[in-house]
Structure 1
Amino acid sequence: MTELTRVAKDSADFASKPRIQPVHPGDTRPVSVSARLGRLQFHDSGKFRVLVLADIQDGPKISKDTIKLIEAALDSSRPDIVIFPGNQIAGYDKAYAKTFRKRTWTPQKWSMGAAATNQRDAELDHTRELVRGSISQFVSPLIERHIPWAVTYGNHDFQCGLTNAELDEIYREFPGCLNPEPMIKPSDRPRKQPGSGLPDQYIYPCEPGTFALPVSKDRESGNVLGLVVFNSGDYGKLGGYGAPSQRALDFLKTVPSLIGVQSMVFQHIPVPQYYDLLKEVPATAAHAVEGYRKFAGHNYVIDEAKTLPGSFLGEGISCPDTDTGEFDVLKSTDGYFALLAGHDHRNRFVGTVDGLTLIATPTCGFGSYGPAPAQRAARLLEFDIRHPYEPRTQLLEFGDLVGKSSSSKAYTYALNGTPDAAKEGTNLLRRPRLIAQILRKMHLKK
Structure 2
Amino acid sequence: MTTLRFRGDGHGDGTFRVLQMADVQDGPDVDPDTVALIEAAIREAKPDLVVFTGDQIRGYDPAWMRTFLRRRGERPGDHVREVTRFEAWWRRTFDGARLPDPPESEVPDDAVDALLDDARAKVRRCFAGFLGPVVRAGVPFAATYGNHDFQCGILAGEQDGIYRESPGCLNPRDPGEHGADGDNPLVCEPGTFALPVEASDGSGRVAMSVVMVNSGDYATERLSPDDTVFGEPSSHLAPAEYARDPRGLDLADSDGYGTPTPQALAWLGGVQRSLAERNGDGRPVPAIAFQHIPPQEFYQCLKEVPPLTPNAVEGARTFAGRCYVLDRSVCRPGSILGESIGCADVNCGEVAALRDAGGYFALYCGHDHKNAFVGHVDGLDLGYAPTCGFASYGPKSRLRGIRLFEFRESDPSAYATRMLTYGDLVERYGHNEARVFIGDHLVVDGPTLRDQLRRPGVFATLALLAGMAVSAVGSAVKAATARKRQ
1:148 deviation in Å?
0.5
Structure 2, gaps ≥5 residues long: 79-102, 222-254, 277-284, 442-450, 459-486
Q: Distance in 2 between matches of 1:123 and 1:287?
A: 45
Which segment drifts farther, 363-372 or 210-219?
210-219
Task: Find out whether 1:235 has 2:260 as its counterpart.
Answer: no
Describe the SS at the equivalent of 2:4: coil
What is the aligned partner in structure 2 of residue 120 from structure 1?
112
Partner Cα distance (1:419, 1:352) in 2: 30
1:380 alignment partner, one of 401, 404, 412? 404
Describe the SS at the equivalent of 1:410. Answer: helix
Say if 2:311 and 2:456, in contact at 8 Å, map to a contact too: yes
Q: 1:347-398 CA deviation, whole Å, 9 max, x = no partner?
A: 0101111100111110000000101001100000000122211211010000
Q: Distance in 2 between matches of 1:47 and 1:142?
A: 20
Letter in structure 1 aligned against 2:16:
F
Q: Within the alignment, does 1:407 sit opposite 2:432 as a pair?
A: yes
TM-score, normalised with respect to structure 2: 0.73
Find the aligned partners of 1:343 and 1:302 in 2 and give their Cα distance. 18
State which of 342, 345, 364 in structure 2 corresponds to 1:318: 342
Question: Aligned partners of 2:182, 2:175: CA distance in 1, in Å?
Answer: 11
TM-score normalized by structure 1? 0.79
Cα distance in 1, alignment partners of residues 47 and 259 from structure 2: 30
Q: Tell me the amino acid that sits aligned with residue 255 of structure 1.
A: V
Match of 1:194 in 2: none
Q: What does residue range 177-326 of structure 1 map to in structure 2 within 5 Å?
A: 177-184=169-176, 204-218=186-200, 219-237=202-220, 239-260=255-276, 261-326=285-350
What's the CA shift for 1:316?
A: 0.6
Task: Please report how far the alpha carbon of residue 107 of structure 1 lies from its aligned counterpart in structure 2 after TM superposition.
Answer: 3.7
Measure how far apart 1:344 and its partner are. Answer: 0.3
1:210 alignment partner AA: T
Residue 182 of structure 1, CA deviation: 2.1
- Taking a change above 3 Å as real, the CA distance of residues 296 and 167 of structure 1, as seen in their structure-2 partners, is same
Q: Which residue is 1:432 aligned to?
A: none
Correspondence 1:10-409 to 2 at 5 A: 38-44=2-8, 46-108=14-76, 116-184=108-176, 204-218=186-200, 219-237=202-220, 239-260=255-276, 261-403=285-427, 404-408=429-433, 409=435
CA distance in 1, matches of 2:126, 2:356: 40
Counting helix residues as a fraction of each chain, which structure ranks higher? 2
**Displacement of 1:105 after TM fit?**
3.2
Contact 2:310/2:455, CA 8 A, preserved across alignment: no
Whole-Å separation in 2 of the counterparts to 1:57 and 1:181: 24
Instruction: Quote the Cα distance in structure 2 between the aligned partners of 1:121 and 1:168.
Output: 19
Aligned partner of residue 365 in structure 1, secondary structure:
coil
Give, in whole Å, the separation in 2 of the partners of 1:39 and 1:355: 29
CA drift of 1:61 comes to 1.1
The residue matched to 1:369 in structure 2 has which SS?
coil
**2: distance between equivalents of 1:407 and 1:95?**
20
- Paired with 1:250 and 1:417, the residues of 2 have a C-alpha distance of 42
Q: Which protein has the larger Cα radius of gyration, Structure 1 or Structure 2?
A: 2
Residues 419 and 351 of structure 1, relative CA distance in 2, 3 Å threshold: farther
Deviations 1:51-104, CA, capped at 9 Å, x for gaps: 011000011111100000000000010000000000000000011011000011
Identity over the aligned pairs, expressed in percent? 45
Aligned residues of 1:256 and 1:262 also touching (Cα < 8 A): no
8 Å CA contact 1:63, 1:407 repeated in 2:
no
**Counterpart of 2:455 in structure 1: which amino acid?**
G
C-alpha distance in structure 2 between counterparts of 1:104 and 1:252, whole Å? 25
Instruction: State which drifts further: 115-124 or 342-351.
Output: 115-124
Equivalent residue for 1:20? Answer: none
User: Residue type matched to 1:52 in 2?
Assistant: Q
Kept in 1, the 8 Å contact 2:286–2:412? The answer is no
Indicate the RMSD between aligned Cα atoms, in angstroms.
2.3
The number of residues matched between the two structures is 370
| Distance of aligned partners of 1:418 and 1:189 in 2 relative to their CA distance in 1, 3 Å threshold | farther
